[in-house]
Every structure is written in C-alpha cells, then in structure tokens.
Chain A
C-alpha cells in the first residue's frame, strides 16, 4: 500500500492488460503497427532507465505482470480491460480469456472485465451471456475503433450497441469502459469523437461509462459531456503517463478534470504494459499543481483527493470493500510471495515501519 504524508492510500490500477503481440500471433500488418505505436507511447512517456526492450514488450507473461504490479506494492489491486483486435491477432491481443489466466490465479487481487462487439449480432449477445456466467464480469471494455472485416469501427449510440447495453443492464454488467482512439477510421468523421458516449450515458443511467484516457484528444468534449452526465467517469490512462516529462500539462489536465468532473469521477489507470505502475504510481502521487494552476482551477491534489482517484472511486464502481481487502491481503498468496505483510498491518503505523 502506498503511503503519502503518513496516510495509507489503497491503489487500484483501473486499467491493465496481459497481451500477446509476438510475431507468430500477428496475422495483419495492423497488428504490428498497433504494437509499434504502443511502443512509441511507452518510450515517449517512460523514464529512460525504466524502458523495456521491444521483445519483452511484445510478450511479458503473467509472472512478470504479477511482479510489476504487486512486487513493490505499487498497486494493491488491478482491473483487466480486454482488447480483442481479432482481425489483427490470431488468438486476440488481450482477450478476456487471456486475462483470466492471471485473474483466476489471484481472484482477490484482480477484477476481470469482459467485452462485446455489436457487429457480432446474436452470437455476440450469447458470448456476453457466456462471459457473465463463466467469469461473472462486472463490466466490459469496448473498443469502438476495432476493425472487423470491411467495417472500421462502430458507435456507442447505434441501435446495435444499444441492444448490447440493454443486455448489460439486464445481466448486471454495470461498468462500460469505452476506449476512444487511437484510431484511424472512420476516415472522414472526426476519428476521436466522444459524443456517442453522451447519448448512451443519458439513455442508460443505470450504467457507468468510464471513458479511457479522458477522451484525449477530445478532452474538451469529454469534460463537457461528463459535466452534464453524472454517470460518466474519466479513466486516467495515458493522461497519468504525462506526469513523465510533461508535468505541467498533466497538472492542467488534472485541473480541468477536477473542475468539470470533481474528485469522485476520476480513476487512475497505468494502462499496463504501456506503462508500469511500479514507477508510475509513485510519480503520479508526487505530481503537484503549480501555484498558478491551483489559483486558476481552485483545486489541489491533496491526500484525500489522491485516495479517491487512486482507489476509492474504482472501489465504489466495482463494489470493492477496501477495509475488507486490507484484512484479506495480510496473508494472501501475493503478500506471501512478495513479503508484503507490513503493508497490510491494519493501521498506518504498521505500514510505516
């Protein structure tokens, strides 16, 4: 557990992947370009001594992932966000099934989301039911820019998508994580449009819509929509990495988010393995707004705000009882493996030892 100013902060990394981009799994040039683009994000926003080589980045495996997340207690829990990309990768890039390998080994530490694609029609609805039954998924991660045959993407406000959202509501799959961009299609439409979230969120008030990387490069549209739709949340993946080399920009974005959404609707995510919580958590925790930014926005990144952003808000959405988890983690398998007992001693004093 992280400690800041003598207070414990329970960290739930809201956005992690277990992907496989090995050459033998790539079946379309888009798969290689996708991975290369990810790698540029990785090196662009990772301190030099923390950067991985490309082979590790292609496939790091469950064991390394476990160590990266929990080895130095950077994160206490993590939420899987699947990305199928089935046209690009033979076995998929980062599917629910691939993620389940690790999620089921340490069920107390992971939340496993599923996914749907409205272009799959009836078969897709059956698959969603199967995911609920098999894994009891509390949410889905959606990738609206995914290529599927001739189609280069879909919209969250389409009739087909609404049918799937209806099914989510019926099945009690409450957390809809929408990825917007990076995408190249649809070609002529504004490719990063987040406006489809608006209609979906107002039509399904019983569902929560978490927009990944806070809508960048459409942060303005995203914030304006979120200001009006109380069930819209911002996932900090990508934005949190801007605390590397671009701390001032990170401060501005946090200022805007706190101003428009407030501290209860912002969720930390490392986007692992784009970035690694084993250094990113510490960096985000230590990021500060400039005096000018504090004046401009009238907000601060104090301990109480960070507690919410780094864990409590995700706990609220995914029904995680943080106090219960702390008790559980005193002697779970992860704690035994990495000798983390002191972190979950039950009070701040023990953690500080």
Chain B
C-alpha cells in the first residue's frame, strides 16, 4: 500500500500538511499546504462519486483506502463492502473516480485501483487502460450505460416524493401537481416558483432541485414541455393514483436505506469500524 491514509472524511482537512509524511514519494512538498493541490482537493472530487446503488458518496461510505500524489499523477485505492459487489457498479465508481480526479487542472493522470474484489484486477486494468466495460468483460451482454440509467431512475423515484410533498404542503391540489410541466417550475436560489394558470406559488427550492437533478440524470424531464412528475415506469400520473405513486416513492427510499445498512454492516465486518484505511 502506498500513499497517505485516507481516514474518515474531513480529518485531513484539519491539517493539510498531515498527510505529507505518509506519501512515499515525498516530492509533493508545498503542494500539500495548498488545498487546491493536496489530498483534500482529490477527496473533494471523489466526494462527488456515488455508490450508484445507495446514491451516497464513496467518501462518506468510507470506501477510499489511500490517496497518493506524485506531482501531476494521483493514485486512488478503494475497497467495496464485499468481494462480490456488482462489477458493473464497481466499474462505474472506478471510472467516475478517475474522471473526477482528472477534472482537477493540475492532475495529468489518475490511476484507480479496486482492491479485494472478485474482479479487482480486471477492473483496475481496464479502467486505467481506458478500455470500455465491454472490452474488459467480453462475456457481458450489453453496456454499463443501461445499468447506470436504471439506477439513476431509482434515485428519480426516491426524490420525487419530497418534491411532491412540498407542493402539496403549499396547498397545490393533486390534480394541479400531476399536470405540471418542467417549464412550470423556475428555480431561483433558495426559492422555487411554481406557475399555476397565471398564479405563482413559492416553495423551498431544495427538494425540487434534488428531484430535477435526479430526473434529468435518469433521462426523464429533460425538455421544457416534459411532464414534471412521473410514475416509476416513467408515465404521467393520474391524480387519483398520486397517493400510490408517493408510497412507491417512499418504498424506493426505504430500499436504498435498507441496502445501505446492509452494505455498511458488511463493510464494517470486513474492515473494522474505521474503514479499510485503518
């Protein structure tokens, strides 16, 4: 294992120089005192990578083992809760991590290593060689894109509930809620303006913002005249079925939370409560 210990999220931030001694190359020097170039910056990019199944950051989930910096090259090692975690999901996390780290302007190359996994070697080799999932796993019968879309759709369904709840709480009728198009909602800072036949209702923007991010990512609600809220199958909602759709949305959230608890317990069982870096 090379590089500095990742530790729990945020602890490196208290002392940006703390990781320098752990770096075997030792040539990062002053870079470590610069938030923009140190492990803290790398961690901030990695924080944007989610475990697709849980829709939670891989930094929060403590999957990161080590971050090593050698000039303009960054090496990240990560471990998942089990050796059996879906290779498609592992692939997504590895490629997303690579792309996020390389988005830093001082990084020329990011090398990602998936540790202790049934397909760790193939995924590590494939991701760093910039191969596709299909090239890495020739016996796979399709691409990773559809898995990504299916997973993104879970997040769409899950976040829709609170967005709708916010509108219902503001006094908008179920009939009006299901009739809304994308263009009827205007996000402006902390407020969302919802147009209803010439009237405008102002609500908290956060739940709608969350929902729209997820919906767009899933490929739904992309055009201004698209219906704003949809069933899990992607169809417009009947007003008298809104309650059932809301309950299915709750169910999607419970599922993610339940699976999150399983993954977390397995992760702790495998690596101890402080994660793989300890």
A residues adjacent to B (C-beta < 8 A): 30, 33-34, 36-37, 39-45, 150, 152, 182-184, 186-192, 216-220, 223-224, 238-239, 242, 245-246, 249, 252-253, 255-256, 259-260, 296
Across the A-B interface, give the 9 residue pairs with the lowest CB-CB distance, nearest first.
Answer: A44-B265, A217-B259, A44-B269, A40-B269, A187-B140, A219-B255, A188-B140, A220-B255, A43-B269
Chain B residues near A45 (CB-CB < 8 A): 265
Q: Is B144 an interface residue (CB 8 A)?
A: yes
Minimum Cβ distance to chain A for residue B56 (Å): 13
Flag the segment in B98-106, B193-201, B245-253 that touches A: B245-253
Q: Are A37 and B84 in contact (CB under 8 A)?
A: yes
Contact residues of A: prevailing secondary structure: helix
Q: Are A188 and B258 in contact (CB under 8 A)?
A: no
Q: Are A249 and B82 in contact (CB under 8 A)?
A: no
Q: Are B251 and A33 in contact (CB under 8 A)?
A: no
Q: How far is the CA of A218 from the CA of B157 in the complex (A)?
A: 14
Of A36, A183, A224, A249, the most chain B CB neighbours within 10 A belong to A249
User: What string of 1s and 0s marks CB contacts (under 8 Å) between B255-275 and chain A?
Assistant: 101110110011011100000
Q: Which of A40, A224, A239, A256 contacts B82 (CB 8 A)?
A: A40
Chain B residues near A36 (CB-CB < 8 A): 83
Q: How far is the CA of A249 from the CA of B83 in the complex (A)?
A: 24
Of A42, A184, A192, the most chain B CB neighbours within 10 A belong to A184
Q: How far is the CA of A40 from the CA of B81 in the complex (A)?
A: 9
Q: Which of A39, A41, A188, A259 contacts B247 (CB 8 A)?
A: A259
Minimum Cβ distance to chain B for residue A47 (Å): 13
- The count of A-to-B residue pairs whose CB atoms sit within 8 angstroms is 113
Q: Are A184 and B258 in contact (CB under 8 A)?
A: no
Q: Is B170 an interface residue (CB 8 A)?
A: no
Flag the segment in B66-74, B146-154, B212-220 that touches A: B146-154
Minimum Cβ distance to chain A for residue B55 (Å): 12
On chain B, which size bracket covers the interface?
35 or more
Using A184-B86, A188-B133, A238-B262 as known contacts, say yes or no to A253 and B143 having CB atoms under 8 A apart. Answer: no
Q: Is B53 an interface residue (CB 8 A)?
A: yes
CB-defined A-B contacts under 8 Å, sample of 10? A33-B83, A40-B82, A44-B265, A186-B140, A188-B140, A188-B143, A217-B258, A220-B157, A249-B257, A255-B254
Chain A residues near B144 (CB-CB < 8 A): 188
Q: Is B14 an interface residue (CB 8 A)?
A: no
Chain B residues near A224 (CB-CB < 8 A): 232, 248, 251
Beyond the given A37-B266, A242-B262, A253-B258, please list 10 additional residue pairs across the A-B interface where CB-CB is below 8 A: A40-B82, A41-B265, A41-B269, A45-B265, A188-B146, A216-B255, A217-B53, A217-B259, A242-B258, A256-B254
Q: Is B182 an interface residue (CB 8 A)?
A: no
Minimum Cβ distance to chain B for residue A184 (Å): 5
Minimum Cβ distance to chain B for residue A271 (Å): 13
